[in-house]
């Protein structure tokens, strides 16, 4: 039987420590770390994420602003707001909730954010820093995965880590973080031949493909650590991950559930990134 990696409990521990760090920072600098979240349109999932981020900021003593813009907001209007937030001294982190409405250029919007305030770490300057291993903050989901491994004393050094998925948000930065911790990394994707043969060699398997129950027991090595980044709905409308949990759990040594695994860590790492940004901007 696998050890279930509890993301909710881990997030509480990390946020508890973070709250103390935020208090110390606020006392020393006489300003709270500040996060501005921008949402365009009324995507229900995005609205839930934004509410959760705003609430989490309050829990650890951070200042938070939510800028909810109508779906018909023009690109110029959005870029004007980002410019204003870039210049706002009480805002240390800026997050534009993705996806944006189709008439807005996501790449142009990300480029407009001051890299020092880019707490999602999507700006090419921050992506480059991740590539060379000299970064201040990293995308929140991969950072959350690494924090979970750390909290459960799972050392990637010398292990073979297989990542299914090559997105800029999870797969690619996850690979760089694993490399930094001295893992040997293989990235698999939709064009990978003999996928199951490769995944069965993984000591640490990270599923970030976005397909419900995609990873089955015959794809997992006995005793592997299985990290499920996916958030999907199955045929019954129930929340599930990329891993067939019931089938894979008996094979694994450690496994993350969905919900309650990686998810709670994502916002926690956003808070951590915001504090890091605040410290760097107030040196």
pLDDT in tens, 46-64: 888 888 899 999 999 999 9
Q: Is the pLDDT of residue 111 over 80?
A: yes
SS3 165: coil
Mean pLDDT value of segment 24-30: 97
Under DSSP, the state recorded for 69 is E
Separation CA 225–CA 258 (nearest Å): 15
pLDDT at 119: 97
Is the alpha carbon torsion for 201, 206, 211, 214 positive or negative? positive
Helix residue spans in the chain (DSSP H): 7-29, 44-60, 75-87, 106-112, 124-132, 140-151, 171-180, 195-199, 245-248, 263-281
Residue 75 has pLDDT above 80, yes or no: yes
Catalytic residue among 97, 129, 159, 244: 97
pTM of the model: 0.94
Give the domains, in start order, of the chain with CATH numbers: 30-114 (3.40.50.10860), 140-263 (3.40.50.720)
Q: Looking at residue 170, what is its pLDDT?
A: 96
Of residues 6, 114, 120, 242, which has the active-site annotation?
A: 120
Over the stretch 228-275, which tens digit does the pLDDT of each residue have?
999 998 888 889 999 999 999 999 999 999 999 999 999 999 999 999
Q: How far apart are CA 49 and CA 58, in angstroms?
A: 15
The CB density around residue 221, as the number of other CB atoms within 10 Å, is 18
Question: Is residue 212 within 8 Å of 233, Cβ to Cβ?
Answer: yes
Q: Report whether pLDDT(45) > 80.
A: no
Write the pLDDT tens digit of every residue in 179-213.
999 999 999 999 999 999 999 999 999 999 999 99
* Catalytic hit among 53, 159, 221, 272: 53
Burial of 157 (0-12, 13-18, 19+ CB in 10 A): exposed
> Are the CB atoms for 243 and 214 separated by under 8 Å?
yes
Respond yes or no: is residue 97 known to be catalytic.
yes
Q: Is 120 a catalytic residue?
A: yes
Tell me if residue 114 is catalytic.
Answer: no
């Amino acid at each position: 039987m696998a050890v279930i990696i509890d993301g909710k409990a881990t997030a509480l521990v990390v946020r508890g420590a973070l709250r103390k760090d935020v208090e110390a920072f606020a006392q020393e600098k006489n300003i709270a770390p500040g996060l501005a979240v921008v949402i365009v349109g009324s995507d229900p999932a995005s609205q839930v994420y934004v509410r959760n981020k705003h609430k989490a900021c309050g829990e650890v003593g951070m200042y938070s602003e939510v800028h909810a813009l109508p779906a018909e907001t023009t690109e110029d209007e959005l870029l004007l707001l980002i410019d204003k937030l870039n210049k706002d001294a009480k805002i240390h982190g800026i997050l534009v909730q993705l996806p944006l409405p189709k008439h807005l250029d996501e790449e142009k919007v990300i480029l407009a954010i001051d890299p020092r305030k880019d707490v999602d770490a999507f700006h090419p300057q921050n992506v480059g820093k991740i590539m060379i291993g000299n970064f201040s903050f990293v995308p929140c989901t991969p950072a959350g995965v690494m924090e979970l491994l750390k909290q459960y004393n799972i050392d990637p050094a010398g292990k073979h880590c297989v990542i299914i998925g090559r997105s800029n948000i999870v797969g690619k930065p996850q690979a760089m973080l694993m490399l930094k911790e001295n893992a040997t990394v293989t990235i698999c994707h939709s064009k990978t031949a003999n996928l199951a043969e490769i995944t069965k060699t993984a000591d640490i398997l990270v599923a970030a493909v976005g397909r419900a129950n995609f990873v089955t027991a015959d794809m997992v090595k006995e005793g592997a650590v299985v990290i499920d980044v996916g958030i999907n709905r199955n045929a019954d409308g129930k929340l599930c991950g990329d891993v067939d949990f019931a089938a894979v759990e008996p094979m694994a040594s450690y496994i993350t559930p969905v919900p309650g695994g990686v998810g709670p860590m994502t916002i926690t790492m956003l808070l951590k990134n915001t504090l890091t940004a605040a410290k760097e901007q107030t040196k």
